Amino acid sequence: MNQTLQNWLQEQLDELKRQHLYKVPPILQSAPGGRVLLNGKEVVNMSSNNYLGLCTHPRMKQAAIEAVEKWGVGAGAVRWIGGTMSIHDELEQKLAQFKKTEAVLVFQSGFAANSGTIPAVMQEGDVIISDELNHASIIDGVRLSGAAYKKSEGYVYRHKDMNHLEAILKRCGHFKKRMIITDGVFSMDGDIAPLPDIVALAEKYDALVMVDDAHASGVLGEHGSGTTSHFGLYGRVDIQLGTLSKAFGVIGGYIAGSRLLKEWLINRGRPYLFSTAHPPAVVAALIAAVDILMTDPEPMKRLWENTRYWKENLQKLGFDTMGSETPITPIYIGEEEKAQKMQQRLFEEGVFALGIVYPTVPRGKARIRTMPSAVHTRKDLDDALEAFAKVGKEMGLI
């Protein structure tokens, strides 16, 4: 029987390789930063979500070290079974102030927050209406819920198409609850959801709104508090998800909303109920991260300066950056094989920029995804641009 599994795995993997969809994770041999040692080579890193450079922030490292000394290395239990330390509580209070919501509940990751929250809130007799480009963790959360959600049944709207969303809402009046769910910033395209229009439609058709701000956290809005703040929609978005793993530089996810929502998720959010609490070093570093975001505007300012410089120069070179509006800057390639080839050539030229292929993006829409950050120097970006120009010409993209 075991041999059958091994044979099956080999066949599947060979097929992925044949389709140029096979992944080999590169190995980082230095701390995350603008320039890193990767697979034995020093390269400019254009593929990290460490938007603000907080992965290596001295205050956060110090907070983590002190927390290890005081609290140890593990929480020892699931949150409600005795794994909640006073620092977990402190982090959630700080995040609620940061988000200007009644309450925040922290999960082990953004993925866990989505897959735990959506099924806890949406049940049989409800409907979930999704943007077609929503993140995989939203899709998994939606699938775990008892609600109607299927694309084949017409509950998935074309990317950012508000006429399509309204047409779907019009025929969903008979469901008990309707939820519209969207990425705030789309993770593979870097464009921003039309949240004011979504909220207006939700109010018109009595739907609730959930926004996944994984790539807006630390990037958009007041102090980087996300798309609800960016668009001035305080109090009009029912459920906001943020990640603590990207711009916040550590690991975790959270749900911001009402006190009742938090109470419900403490009782019904399965990753919260059945998986162990964050270790103290993580929590202490995150408390420091929120303080840094609330008091130091410099990292966000540098992030956006670098973003403008990077996008402008790629466009000047003639690359198609797919209408992205945030630090996430895809470069359109199309064919999977070409994207993988481009990633390899860029690496040889001293730049790490990941080729993104199916299933992360649709087949035939492969791209190289780049993310400038606050820690890139002008020289890092200029060196990377030079490599893109050279390889882009070589491959006939520009």
Contact footprint for ligand PLP (CB under 6 A): 109-111, 114, 135, 137, 183, 187, 212, 214-215, 243, 245, 253
What angle is formed at CA 261 by the lines to CA 260 and CA 266, rounded to 5 degrees?
Answer: 95
- Distance from C-alpha of 214 to C-alpha of 301, rounded to nearest angstrom: 19
Q: How far is CA 295 from the centre of its chain?
A: 23
Handedness of CA 330, 333, 337, 340 (dihedral sign): negative
Of the pair 121, 385, the CB lying nearest ligand PLP is at 121
Shortest distance (Å) from residue 185 CB to ligand PLP: 8
Alpha carbons within 13 A on the beta-carbon side of 197:
11
Of the pair 92, 212, the CB lying nearest ligand PLP is at 212
- Distance from C-alpha of 252 to C-alpha of 250, rounded to nearest angstrom: 7
Strands of the sheet with 329-334, listed across from one edge: 329-334, 366-370, 354-356
In the set 88, 215, 230, 365, the catalytic residue is: 215
Based on the residue annotation, tell me whether 246 is a catalytic residue of this protein.
yes
- Distance from C-alpha of 324 to C-alpha of 128, rounded to nearest angstrom: 26
In this chain, which residue has its C-beta nearest to ligand PLP?
110
Of the pair 229, 240, the CB lying nearest ligand PLP is at 240
**Neighbouring-strand partners of residue 37:** 42
In the set 109, 130, 145, 187, the catalytic residue is: 187
Spatial contact of 82 and 281, defined as CB atoms under 8 Å apart: no
Based on the residue annotation, tell me whether 187 is a catalytic residue of this protein.
yes
Shortest distance (Å) from residue 348 CB to ligand PLP: 28
Shortest distance (Å) from residue 109 CB to ligand PLP: 3
Task: Provide the terminal-to-terminal Cα distance of the chain, rounded to the nearest Å.
Answer: 52
Of the pair 40, 359, the CB lying nearest ligand PLP is at 359
**Neighbouring-strand partners of residue 368:** 331, 355
- Distance from C-alpha of 280 to C-alpha of 287, rounded to nearest angstrom: 11
Select from 181, 185, 141 the least CA-distant residue to 157: 181
Based on the residue annotation, tell me whether 204 is a catalytic residue of this protein.
no
Shortest distance (Å) from residue 241 CB to ligand PLP: 7
Spatial contact of 296 and 103, defined as CB atoms under 8 Å apart: no
In the set 160, 246, 262, 311, the catalytic residue is: 246
Shortest distance (Å) from residue 371 CB to ligand PLP: 11
Of the pair 159, 341, the CB lying nearest ligand PLP is at 159
Handedness of CA 119, 125, 131, 136 (dihedral sign): positive
Shortest distance (Å) from residue 216 CB to ligand PLP: 9
Active site residues: 187, 215, 246
